[in-house]
């Protein structure tokens, strides 16, 4: 990843966190909070190099954990697993496709949900959270897909991320 | 005759002046009436005066309505700016008034208890939808520790978790991981208020025989050492006693309006490093 890409990514991640923590909760009701860091992770998984992408996915998950819930490392683990799943198949696909990006975000939202659910049931004692997660799942899925589709409208979306 | 010939010009001028003065003096008593000369002159001029006057009116209109519109436009912009500035000041004054009212309520709550408290503002919320937490602008540098009670003017908000130097996360009482020992203010029935993820909670471990009714107010019991005794937690909105089972199902609406929370108090008691 070039220095310019890294700086741009850093800026986008920081902006996303600020928007997600302080801005969106004022205007958006709870189930419709988009997972901006997840969308960024999917973008990196589809376009970026593996060596930089894997630790980045974990870091993005950690950032998500810092701003959410009690369990540090939960999203870090699910993001990393999701990244590895995407990376294992992304080489055989046309990663520049907008439709593929939206579908991947949908799929990863589902995978992330399932993994979080499994990890929390296995390792924590927050029994009632399953109900909340299920009730919020569909709006969460739809809003993430919406955000992903908005991202595809950005100029230069089709460009490959420079790797050097 | 030589005299007349010699001074003809001067005499003519003097006569004219005298005639003019005579004419003037004769007309002084009838100064409010139009004489023949005036009437005739006015009658003759009126056909000319009217269109010229209209034309000059038209020119004046152009000057006033079009040329001077530049000033009107500028004035309009200035007045709009003034209105905007005044509206902003009215808005700020209203906001200050409301903030003052909220802080007064918060101060009243603070006065009820002897423990030291720190005021904090909410600066963020949980990024996911299935956890319920807030971010406040006070941290360890302000004396905040994990596990301290957070309250508002209306009642319990939650407790601090994950404290950094300048900010803290507050686990809301509606989070699934939250549990607060409670007493029914009316019947003194005991239980534990647990979060249900949405903007409501449930009263757990209250046996079927306990007297709990819709509309009852639940307050903190003080057991556990985190929350002081007597802080409102919420109001009972539903009670269901099944045919079987030891406990009854009780839904609770939090006393604090959590989605619109702006200022909170952190009770500086207990907590962990």
- Give the model's pLDDT for residue A159: 66
pLDDT at B37 over 50: yes
pLDDT at A88 over 70: yes
Q: Indicate the pLDDT class of residue A162, thresholds 50, 70 and 90.
A: low
Kindly state whether residue A159 falls inside one of the protein's structural domains. Answer: no
Average of per-residue pLDDT across B30-55: 70
The predicted-structure confidence for A143-156, as pLDDT tens digits, reads as follows: 999 999 999 888 77
From B80's Cα to the closest Cα of chain A, the distance in A is 29
For residue A72, the model assigns a pLDDT of 77
Does residue A75 or residue A128 have the better pLDDT?
A75
**Would an 8 Å CB–CB cutoff place A67 in contact with chain B?**
yes
Structure confidence at residue A62 (pLDDT): 86
Establish if A162 belongs to a structural domain.
no
Q: Closest to B128 (Cβ–Cβ): which among A68, A124, A126?
A: A68
- Establish if A41 touches chain B: CB-CB under 8 angstroms: no
Overall domain count for chain A: 1
Q: Is residue A73 part of a domain?
A: yes
User: What digits encode the pLDDT tens for the residues B79-120?
Assistant: 999 999 999 899 888 888 888 888 888 887 777 777 888 889
Question: Could A64 and B171 be called an inter-chain contact, meaning their C-beta atoms sit closer than 8 Å?
Answer: no
Q: Give the DSSP per-residue string, B54-107.
A: HHHHHHHHIIIIIITHHHHHHHHHHHHHHHHHHHHHHHHHHHHHHHHHHHHHHH
Q: pLDDT grade, residue B181 (50/70/90)?
A: very high
Res. A26: pLDDT tops 80: no
**Closest residue to A126, CB basis, from B125, B162, B176:** B176
Residue A158 lies in a domain: no
Q: Look at residue A38 and tell me whether its pLDDT is greater than 90.
A: yes
| Per-residue confidence (pLDDT) for residue A135, from 0 to 100 | 82
The answer to whether residue A95 sits within a structural domain is yes
- Residue A157 inside a domain? The answer is no
- Using CB atoms, pick whichever of A69, A126, A127 lies closest to residue B126: A69
Helix (H) or strand (E) holding A117: helix A98-123
Residue A100 has pLDDT above 60, yes or no: yes
Residues 6+ apart with CB under 8 A from A88: none
pLDDT at residue A10 is higher than 80? yes
Around Cβ B137, how many Cβ atoms within 10 Å? 14
Over residues B227-246, the mean pLDDT reads 87
Mean pLDDT of chain A: 84
Q: Kindly state whether B262 is in contact with chain A, defined as any CB-CB distance less than 8 angstroms.
A: no
Q: Is residue A54 part of a domain?
A: yes
Q: Which residues of B touch A127 (CB under 8 A)?
A: 176
Nearest CB among A67, A70, A124 relative to B171 is that of A70
pLDDT value for A164: 45
Q: Is this complex scored with an ipTM above 0.85?
A: no
* Nearest chain A residue to B162, by CA: A70
User: What is the average pLDDT across B6-10?
Assistant: 81
Taking the whole predicted model, whether its pTM rises above 0.80 is answered as: no
In the predicted structure, residue B140 carries a pLDDT above the cut 80: yes
Query: Sorting pLDDT into bands at 50, 70 and 90, what band is A107?
Result: very high
Mean per-residue pLDDT, B121-128: 85
Domains, chain B, in order of start with CATH, read 118-174 (2.40.10.340), 179-263 (2.40.10.350)
Residue B35: is its pLDDT beyond 50? yes
The CA distance from A30 to A32, in Å, is 5
Contact yes or no for A67 and B135 at CB 8 A: yes
Of B45-54, B82-91, B107-116, B179-188, give the lowest mean pLDDT range: B45-54
Whole-number Å distance between alpha carbons of B212 and B250: 8
Mean of the per-residue pLDDT values of chain B: 83
Interface membership of A27 toward B (CB under 8 Å): no
Number of A:B CB contacts under 8 A? 72
Q: Is the pLDDT of residue B49 over 70?
A: no
- Kindly state the average pLDDT of the residues A19-25: 81
Closest CA to B219 of B239, B243, B260, B189: B189
Name the packing angle between helices A98-123 and A74-90 (round to 10°): 140
**Domain assignment of residue A114, given as a range:** 3-21+32-151
Please check whether residue B207 is in contact with residue B246, taking contact to mean a CB–CB distance below 8 angstroms. Answer: yes
Task: Indicate whether A124 belongs to any domain.
Answer: yes
Residue B2 C-alpha from the chain's centroid: 102
């Amino acid at each position: 990843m070039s220095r310019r890409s890294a700086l741009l990514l850093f800026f986008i991640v920081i902006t996303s966190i600020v928007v997600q923590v302080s801005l969106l909760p004022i205007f958006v009701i709870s189930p419709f909070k988009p997972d901006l860091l997840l969308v960024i992770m999917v973008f990196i998984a589809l376009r970026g190099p593996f060596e930089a992408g894997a630790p980045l996915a974990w870091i993005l998950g950690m950032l998500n954990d810092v701003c959410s819930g009690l369990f540090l490392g939960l999203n870090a683990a699910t993001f990393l697993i999701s990244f590895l799943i995407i990376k294992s198949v992304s080489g055989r696909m046309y990663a520049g496709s907008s439709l593929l990006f939206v579908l991947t975000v949908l799929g990863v939202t589902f995978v992330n949900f399932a993994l979080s659910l499994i990890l929390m049931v296995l390792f924590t004692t927050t029994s009632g959270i399953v109900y909340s997660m299920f009730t919020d799942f569909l709006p969460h899925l739809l809003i993430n897909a919406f955000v992903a589709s908005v991202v595809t409208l950005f100029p230069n979306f089709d460009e490959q991320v420079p790797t050097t | 005759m030589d005299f007349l010939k010699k001074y003809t010009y001067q005499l003519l001028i003097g006569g004219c002046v005298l005639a003019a003065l005579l004419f003037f003096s004769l007309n002084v008593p009838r100064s409010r009436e139009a004489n023949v000369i005036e009437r005739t002159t006015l009658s003759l001029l009126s056909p000319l005066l009217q269109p010229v006057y209209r034309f000059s009116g038209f020119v004046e209109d152009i000057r006033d309505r079009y040329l001077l519109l530049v000033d009107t436009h500028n004035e309009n912009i200035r007045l709009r700016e003034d209105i905007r500035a005044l509206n902003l000041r009215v808005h700020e004054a209203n906001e200050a008034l409301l903030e003052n009212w909220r802080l007064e309520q918060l101060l009243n709550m603070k006065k009820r208890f002897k423990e030291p408290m720190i005021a904090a503002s909410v600066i963020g919320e949980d990024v996911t939808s299935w956890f319920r937490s807030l971010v406040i602008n006070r941290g360890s540098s302000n004396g905040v520790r994990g596990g301290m009670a957070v309250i508002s003017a209306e009642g319990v908000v939650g407790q601090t978790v994950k404290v950094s130097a300048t900010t803290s996360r507050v686990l809301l009482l509606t989070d699934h991981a939250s549990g607060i020992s409670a007493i029914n203010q009316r019947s003194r029935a005991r239980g534990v208020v647990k979060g249900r993820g949405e903007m409501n909670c449930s009263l757990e471990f209250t046996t079927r025989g306990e007297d709990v009714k819709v509309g009852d107010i639940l307050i903190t019991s003080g057991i556990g050492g985190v929350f002081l005794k007597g802080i409102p937690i919420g109001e009972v909105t539903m009670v269901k006693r099944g045919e079987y089972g030891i406990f009854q199902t009780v839904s609770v609406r939090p006393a604090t309006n959590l989605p619109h929370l702006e200022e909170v108090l952190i009770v500086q008691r207990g907590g962990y490093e």
